[in-house]
């Protein structure tokens, strides 16, 4: 078996470091998503806010374009994040409803 070149190993270690930071940032983001979900639940707001979503996506596409990232990839990435955020927030609302019935 051929040995992996040192430069390739170095670059892969950089990818591993970046991936850890990306996952950490996503974990931070979803902690905020939970806080927003709790606030929306208390305020009896819908979890889906169309105008906020459109504003966020437009801003992220602009930023991604400036960074040289593909629009299709960026849209798909943020759609996944958004769907998970809605799922988390809907779970918070459902849990609060169950607690309300149990009281």
Domain ranges of the chain: 6-102
Closest CA to 55 of 63, 43, 66: 63
CA 38 from centre of chain: 17
pLDDT digits (tens, 9 = 90+) for 35-71: 999 999 999 999 999 999 999 999 999 999 999 999 9
88 within 8 A of 34, measured Cβ to Cβ: yes
Q: Which residues contact 70 (CB under 8 A, 6 or more apart)?
A: 64
What lies within 8 Å, CB to CB, of 59 at 6+ separation is: none
CATH number of the 6-102 domain = 1.20.59.10
Name the pLDDT band for 103 (thresholds 50, 70, 90).
Answer: low
Look-up of token digits 């996944």? 80
Residue with tokens 């943020």: 78
């Amino acid at each position: 078996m051929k040995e992996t070149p040192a430069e390739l190993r170095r670059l892969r270690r950089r990818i591993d470091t970046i991936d850890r930071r990306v996952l950490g940032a996503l974990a931070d983001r979803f902690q905020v998503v939970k806080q927003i979900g709790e606030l929306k639940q208390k305020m009896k707001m819908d979890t889906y806010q169309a105008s906020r979503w459109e504003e966020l996506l437009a801003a992220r596409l602009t930023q991604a374009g400036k960074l040289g990232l593909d629009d299709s990839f960026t849209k798909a990435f943020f759609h996944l994040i958004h769907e998970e955020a809605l799922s988390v927030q809907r779970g918070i609302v459902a849990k609060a409803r169950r607690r309300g019935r149990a009281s």
